[in-house]
Amino acid sequence: MDKLVSLCKRKGFIFQSSGIYGGINGCWDFGPLGVELKRNLKDDWWYHFVQVRDDMVGLDASIIMHPQVWVASGHVEAFHDMLVDCKECKKRFREDHLEGDRCPDCGGELTEPRAFNSMLRTRLGVSDDTAVDTYLRPETCQSIFVDFKEIYSSSRVKIPFGIAQIGKSFRNEVNPRNFIFRSREFEQMEIEFFCREEDEEFWFERWQEDIWKWYVNLGIRESRLRWYEHPKESLAHYSKRTVDVEYEFPFGWGELQGLANRGTYDLTQHSRHSGKDLSFFDQEKNERFIPTVIEPSAGVDRTALAVLCDAYDEDEVNGEKRVVMRFHPKLAPIKAGVFPLVKKEGLAEIAEELERKLRRKFPTVYDHSGAIGRRYRRMDEIGTPFGICVDFETRENGTVTIRERDSMEQVRVPMEEVAEYIGKRISFDQD
Ligand code: ATP
């Protein structure tokens, strides 16, 4: 984990927020490479779960919502963590994260647990007498429930169908930790899938299959993925059944995504609190009902962390240690490095022109400094899947070599076919 965190900082994937002021706990910034990786993840998710499906639509709702939303959803009442403090070293812990009944750091005695609401409070409005207290959303899904009627009456969706959203969520986590695994500001990719109650098991299983397939197709090795079924007695207040996809991080197994059957809880609650009828009218059957909700809820940051952990590798090339990030090409921040074999004799100009053309299709870099082996190595370290070399033969017949990051094999390809050759390998449409 230490190696990965330092690579992320050194190469500009992820660093602490507000670093020059000493950082701020639980907040992280995605640098030039991190932002590309994260965008690729989100785009791939949207592609598979929204774009290619005919039973899904999208939403991008506001982060700040009416305060009543959080009363209706149960968050004001029940979104609590139980906190304990160490009487000796004064450190604070979440009770459910502790293994024994003493402080895990100094062995000191702990206080009795106290409830602490994990929503981030904020104030909306400019003057003291009119400003209202509300919260930054702790999950993206509530806006999907609140907007349910707007969406189904403005689009041509019919049950069963789902609404997807990617966006920021905020939780005042007691102990943000494990790099970006548990932070206070993070992004979620959530789907609320609305079906009839009698079909809930069918859809739950379908979503289980689809979610699993998505992780595998990201290139994450299956041996590091598993399901965890929540025992009935520890289910969240809204859930009839929850299973999590977990990944084996260097610090242990951790949740990437939850899949919950939320039943009719949320739509019923919002109907009751808002006084608006959020039932669905099935015209064919001439029947009105509150749909049951199956919810796959994934974290962007946790998935990014799993992808980073899974990609990290060290091997040896010609007696030299190599760090290589084995990202699936579709997720790699930079798709290709373009290099002239030598700077002289017109090779640099050809390579620069090729790189300018390629960057109109996907992210690339041009590099002419140092030995060619070094340049390949720099690309390996940030997970660039293809290295393109312009050499003397290029001048004669217009072909270049493409070196593959993982196999290190090289193929010769005419320059005008490079974009297509790489395009196929980085496409989301491969599985
Ligand atoms: P945990 O038990 O780890 O606190 P949770 O069960 O409360 O997580 P959910 O409410 O199910 O999490 O949220 C859905 C997804 O959102 C999680 O699977 C995770 O990927 C992501 N997520 C939740 N909390 C955080 C956080 N503090 N930092 C980063 N991602 C998070």
Predicted model pTM: 0.93
Q: Given a cut of 80, is residue 429 above it in pLDDT?
A: yes
Domain 2-66+138-308 has CATH 3.30.930.10: yes
Alpha-carbon distance 49 to 210, whole Å? Answer: 9
Distance CA(8)–CA(309), nearest Å, equals 11
Question: Region 316-340: what's the mean pLDDT?
Answer: 94
User: For 62-71, 74-83, 205-214, 354-363, which range has the lowest pLDDT when averaged over its residues?
Assistant: 74-83
Instruction: Give me the pLDDT at residue 95, please.
Output: 85
- pLDDT tens digits for 13-44? 999 999 999 999 999 999 999 999 999 999 99
* CB-based contact 201:193 (threshold 8 Å): no
Look at residue 159 and tell me whether its pLDDT is greater than 90. yes
Every domain of the chain with CATH number 3.40.50.800 lies at: 334-430
What are 60-77's pLDDT values in tens digits? 999 999 999 999 999 998
Q: Is 90 exceeded by the pLDDT of residue 117? A: no
Q: Which amino acid is at 213?
A: K
Query: Residue 330: which pLDDT band, with cuts at 50, 70 and 90?
Result: very high
Look up residue 139 and give its two tokens: 């999950």
What residues are in contact with ligand 1 under a 6 Å CB criterion?
139, 171, 173, 182-183, 186, 188, 255-258, 297-299, 301-302
Residue limits of CATH 3.30.930.10 in the chain = 2-66+138-308
Name the percent of the chain lying above pLDDT 70: 100
Q: What is the spatial distance between Cα 50 and Cα 60, in angstroms, rounded to a whole number?
A: 13
Average pLDDT of every residue of the chain: 94
Q: Helices 347-358 and 418-426: crossing angle, nearest 10°?
A: 40
Of ligand 1's listed atoms, the one at least distance from the Cα of 260 is 11
Handedness of CA 242, 245, 249, 253 (dihedral sign): positive
pLDDT band at 394 (very low <50, low <70, confident <90, very high): very high
Q: What are the residues facing 247 on neighbouring strands? A: 225, 254
Architecture, CATH, for domain 334-430: 3-Layer(aba) Sandwich (3.40)
- If you average pLDDT over residues 214-233, what whole number do you get? 96
CA gyration radius, the chain: 25
CA distance 123 to 213: 42
- Is the pLDDT assigned to residue 80 strictly greater than 80? no
Integer CA distances (angstroms), 366 to 92, 119, 335, 352, 390, in order: 49, 45, 12, 7, 11
Q: Is the pLDDT of residue 81 over 80?
A: no
Distance 106 CA to ligand 1 centre (A): 28
Res. 317 pLDDT band, cuts 50 70 90: confident
Q: What is the pLDDT of residue 96?
A: 82
Report the separation in Å between the CA atom of 118 and the middle of ligand 1, taken as the mean of its atom positions: 12
**How far away, in angstroms, is 255 Cα from ligand 1 center?**
7
23-32, 317-326, 392-401: the lowest-pLDDT one: 317-326
Structure confidence at residue 244 (pLDDT): 97
Q: What percent of the chain has pLDDT over 90?
A: 81
Structure-token pair, residue 63: 């982060």
Least confident of 125-129, 203-207, 401-405, 424-428: 125-129
Q: Band of the pLDDT at 236, cuts 50, 70, 90?
A: confident
Q: Which atom of ligand 1 is nearest to the CA of 171?
A: 27
pLDDT value for 15: 96
Count Cβ neighbours within 10 Å for each residue of 344-382 and write b for 16 or more, e otherwise. Answer: eeebbebbeebbeebbeebbbbbbbeeebeebbbbbbeb
**Given a cut of 90, is residue 248 above it in pLDDT?**
yes
Average the pLDDT over each of 35-39, 158-162, 232-236 and give the range with the smallest value: 232-236
For a ligand 1 pocket test, name from 28, 181, 186 the mutation site with the most ligand atoms within 8 angstroms of its C-beta. 186
Cα angle: 89, vertex 90, 95; to 5 degrees = 110
